[in-house]
Amino acid sequence: MNKKTWLLVSCLAIGIASYSIVQYLILDAHQAGFVSLKLMFIDTLDSLWYSMLYIHIIFSVLALVIGPFTLFTKFRENNIKRHRILGKLYMIGILFGSVSGLYLAIYATGGVVSQLGFSALSILWMITGYQALVKIKEQKIYDHQQWMIRNYSLTFAAVTLRIWLLVFTVLFGFDNFMISYPIISWLCWVPNLIIAQWIIGRSRQERGLLVK
């Protein structure tokens, strides 16, 4: 990841992370826009749901903020020990964030399409994180980096979800939210993964040219 891309990704990640911390952990989560919106379609939310929401917020924010530092080449090369520590914390964030996210996906607003979209995101988030972990244990550094790019593209869905929510609300209004949200449940992560794969493809081409 080059410096300009890293700065953009980091600023967006820190911005969304800060918003989430204030909205859910400092202020009353029961009054958060996301929860209030859900209560418009569900009569009540039990304590387990709120517990899973807090777990998801805390650990997803951890992964969201740490991710750019694990991907930034210069930081990684100059801070190997710190990179390993951050990598372990990142994986902890992925583990708890994906498991709690899968539970929350069952109750996703927008019906089956939204439930499937967010469930697929959580499962792939877990799988790509596991693959990244396996590759680094096998000392396959390049493969590890590729899986980390895929994984962070899914972590970054926390940012793109909110961008798409804003875009769809401006274009189609809140009255069409129940139509928009199921689309966003897939749109927030599928293009991210496609872009990640494109970046990996370019990296492989450049690597191939260097080898030749």
Q: Hey, is 68 helix, strand or coil?
A: helix
User: Structural domain of residue 183, as residue ranges?
Assistant: 3-211
Number of domains in the chain: 1
Distance CA 58, CA 17 (A): 9
Distance CA 49, CA 68 (A): 29
Nearest one of 201, 205, 76, 50 to 136, comparing CA atoms: 76
* Residue 23 DSSP class: I
Distance CA 158, CA 21 (A): 13
pLDDT per residue rounded down to tens, the chain (212 residues): 677 888 899 999 999 999 888 887 777 666 666 666 665 556 556 788 888 989 999 999 999 999 998 888 777 778 888 999 999 999 999 999 999 999 999 989 888 999 999 999 999 999 999 999 999 999 999 999 999 999 999 999 999 999 999 999 999 988 888 899 999 999 999 999 999 999 999 888 877 655 44
